[in-house]
Amino acid sequence: MLSIAVLLGACQPDDRAASIESSDIEKSICSRFAPLSAVPPRSSVLDQRILDGIADLLEIDLAIAKQAGDDDLAARIEGLIDASRKGPANEVGVSVYLKEDISEDEVERISALIEDATGVFSIEYVTSSEAYEEYKGIYEDQPEFFEDVAEDSIPASLRFEVDDLDETMESLESQLVRNRNVDDIRHGAGLERLAPVLTREMERCLVGLFD
């Protein structure tokens, strides 16, 4: 469990804001997302209080950006604040990745198996090409992340939502893992459920663009 204490200790904006470089504000933005690096990669729950704390700190960056006269940066921060306040979806997402040579009939059989499980809804089949386009969309402003990725390298999948991960997946997952056409099963991590704008911002910071 993350401690909300890691989100505290930020300085309030003052008269020095006008002299602060935009790059300094960028670094500050990255520091706001540091607590998310401690979230377990397969965690299905991301406490909204953590995101609200990040939004509170981003409000400070927003005030400084406005005082510094950087309207573009201020607009971007406003988008981050809005996405943080909305948080991840309440439901838990599950992705069942399929083998490359799976037939349409087998996709339908696996889909029917999932649909029959209690507490499953919003099931969707995503082809390999659709997943690739989705991946490109997430990193549209950072083409270096996908320019060397083959279009068929991202597997097709069946995605769905569940009301209760433990209750639904206890029996369903045991059936799916025995299917030779299922490559992997991933429970929708809290970080993966965030709005793309937050995901992109975290990736920007991760690669050290503002070091």
DSSP assignment string, 93-113: EEEEEE-TT--HHHHHHHHHH
Q: What is the mean pLDDT of residues 162-175?
A: 83
Q: What is the mean pLDDT of residues 179-200?
A: 77
Q: When comparing pLDDT for 194 and 115, which is higher?
A: 115
- Per-residue pLDDT band for 206 (boundaries 50, 70, 90) equals confident
Instruction: Write the CA distances from 188 to 23, 53, 192, integer angstroms.
Output: 33, 22, 6
Q: Which domains does the chain have, with CATH numbers?
A: 4-88+195-206 (no CATH), 92-189 (3.30.70.3040)
> Could you report the per-residue pLDDT of 41-57, keeping only the tens digit for each?
444 445 677 788 889 99
Burial 22-60 (b: 16+ CB within 10 A, else e): eeebbebbbebbebbeebeeeebebbeebbebbbbbbeb
Range with lowest mean pLDDT among 16-30, 122-136, 189-203: 189-203
Inter-residue contact 57 to 159 (CB < 8 Å) = no
Residue 171 confidence (pLDDT) above 90: no
DSSP β-ladder status, 157-162 and 120-126? antiparallel
- Per-residue pLDDT band for 6 (boundaries 50, 70, 90) equals very low
Strands (E), 2-117: 92-98
Residue 157 confidence (pLDDT) above 70: yes
Confidence at residue 2, expressed as pLDDT on a 0 to 100 scale: 35
pTM confidence score: 0.51
- Per-residue pLDDT band for 165 (boundaries 50, 70, 90) equals confident
Q: What is the mean pLDDT of residues 104-127?
A: 92
Distance CA(82)–CA(128), nearest Å, equals 31
SS3 state at 69: coil
Take residue 60 and report the two structure tokens written for it: 């400070």
